[in-house]
Amino acid sequence: MIEADKRKAICELHKAGLSIRTISRHLGVDRKTVRAVIKQEGEMPQIIRKDKIEVDQQLLSRLYGECEGRIQRIYEKLVEQEGLTLSYPTLTKIIRELELGQTKSSRCGKVADEPGEMQHDTTLYSIALGQRKVPVVASLLYFRYSKMRYLKFYRSFNRFKMKCFFHEALSFFGYSGSVCIIDNTNLARLRGTGKDAIITTEMEQFGKQYGFSYVCHEKGHANRKAGNERSFWTVETNFLPGRSFQDLEDLNKQALEWATVRMANRPVGKSALIPSSAFEYEKPYLVKLPPYVSPPYLPHVRVIDQYGYLSFDGNYYWVPGSSRGEVKLLQYSETLKIYRKRECLVEYHLPKDGVKNQVFTPDGSPRPLYKPRHRSHPTEQEERKLRALDVCVDTYLNFALKEKSGEQKHKFIRQLFILQQRITSSLFLKTIKRAQRYRITDLRSLERIALLQMTEGDMETLSIDIDGQFQDREAYREGRLSDEVDLSIYEKMLEDSTDE
């Protein structure tokens, strides 16, 4: 294809008197092409391709529905039943042109930066907390006009934590936007997408307490909340690099200072807008929160055990009083409240992330004498003793525990520790080496390996020294002359059970 500018140059050179060969040599165009361009007077030829075979659009739409979009079957029915002669590539081209079965993508409208709009979204990160990396969920609220942000990290994120995050963020600012743009997440959306999305009644009522409503952006138009997406990029490039975090609490403490202090007073963009100053201008357009908004909570029902404890999230909490039975436990963002008959018995602060199997009592009260029942017993001591036996045991545990977690892991360590106590150390080490060689983690197989090692004759059995003169002891002689035990009571019990 010869460009329009080159076509014009060919015509101008021809009018200037240059020969076709000279024009071809200077412009690098074939002489036949030069003749064709001169004949066309430098105009771009309008070539309109007409399909030799035309397929009725209604017929093709009907067959597309009947065949559930299977083009191969549509092609067979057109050829065999309708008598059309066309190639398979031609049919696929026509279907693509008609956009059958394809969702027509619409353009996203541009919305001006006006006060009163919020944006919320979440994303996943892998952050080093202490010595190891853990997956966390970053939740970020963004005021579009003033560029104010509120950032917090969670180990997991659900509808309840979403409500807790909004309550914490909006209580911090004291104001709320009238609209909050979100993606099509099922945490707030019941069904539908974009403008057709229906928000769940629970989240709709929750938003009304703070004076805003949720709005889902159109599917594929994530730029509708571009400020929020850009904020996550700022988190990756400005907040996370060069910082270390001891635990989740330390991470959220630094995130709060970064988002609400450092970034709030830092000029943004070419306009050098300062978010904290812009937020003061935006306040008249926002919804001021009421003096008190009830924080979100989750109700739970628990039964107090015989020692006065109830369990929640892997920990145990003591309940004052002497009665047992059911109590209602209200889970807030950072606290627990225990109620019985609408009376708050005690309130606890939730422990730090990762704290499990711990006992908590009210501050200032004496520690209860008994521990809760069904409390799980950790196996750190057994595992430490096993690993200290030999290097081969440490290597074997690294291999065997790789695919075990929770109760399976603790059960395996306990039974392995019991096996180590039942046999000699040399036999146990030979058993572990053989199990490591054949990659065996089944405990019954380990016992059979130990028995096989003993039967092969290369292991020494434990010998027990028995004093043969025990019959000459005074206690033994007195025992021989003692009265026989009266077992008639058991015979009577057997007779009574037979009669019944």
| Residues 157-171: tens digit of each pLDDT | 999 999 999 999 999
Helix 407-422, helix 380-387: angle, nearest 10 = 50
Interatomic CA distance for residues 172 and 332, integer angstroms: 17
In a domain, 189, yes or no: yes
How many CA atoms within 13 Å lie on the side-chain side of 473?
8
How many CA atoms within 13 Å lie on the side-chain side of 253?
7
In the block, tokens 């597309």 appear at: 64
As beta bridge partners, residue 215 has 181
How many CA atoms within 13 Å lie on the side-chain side of 325?
7
In a domain, 467, yes or no: no
- Domain's final residue, options 234, 256, 288: 288
| Residues 92-137: tens digit of each pLDDT | 888 888 878 766 655 556 666 678 899 999 999 999 998 889 999 9
What does the pLDDT read at residue 120?
94
Mean pLDDT lowest for which of 18-32, 194-208, 308-322, 333-347? 18-32
| 309 Cβ contact list (under 8 Å, min separation 6) | 316, 317, 318, 319, 359, 368, 371, 372, 373
173 and 276 together in one domain = yes
Q: What's the total number of domains in the chain? A: 5
Interatomic CA distance for residues 2 and 5, integer angstroms: 8
Domain of residue 246, residue span = 117-288
How many CA atoms within 13 Å lie on the side-chain side of 224?
22
In a domain, 112, yes or no: no
Q: Please count the other Cβ atoms lying within 10 Å of the Cβ belonging to residue 14.
A: 19
Predicted TM-score (pTM) above 0.75: no
What does the pLDDT read at residue 24?
86
In a domain, 460, yes or no: no
208 and 157 together in one domain = yes
| Residues 434-463: tens digit of each pLDDT | 998 888 988 889 889 888 888 876 555 455
284 and 307 together in one domain = no
310 and 284 together in one domain = no
Taking 80 as the threshold, does the pLDDT of residue 344 lie above it? yes
Q: Report the range out of 59-68, 147-156, 216-225 with the highest average pLDDT.
A: 147-156
Query: The domain spanning residue 191 has which CATH number?
Result: 3.30.420.10
In this structure, the dihedral spanned by the alpha carbons of residues 213, 277, 227 and 334, taken in order and rounded to 10 degrees, is: -60
Q: Is 366 exposed, middle or buried (0-12, 13-18, 19+ CB in 10 A)?
A: exposed
In a domain, 370, yes or no: no
201 and 320 together in one domain = no
142 and 262 together in one domain = yes
Interatomic CA distance for residues 288 and 317, integer angstroms: 38
In a domain, 485, yes or no: no
307 and 258 together in one domain = no
| Average pLDDT over all residues of the chain | 85
User: Amino acid letter at 396?
Assistant: Y
- Domain's final residue, options 288, 321, 351: 288
Residue 126 vs residues 155, 229, 246, 309, 493: alpha-carbon distances, Å: 11, 18, 14, 36, 68
In the block, tokens 């709709």 appear at: 204
268 and 416 together in one domain = no
Provide, rounded to the nearest whole percent, the portion of the chain with pLDDT above 90.
39
In a domain, 488, yes or no: no
234 and 136 together in one domain = yes
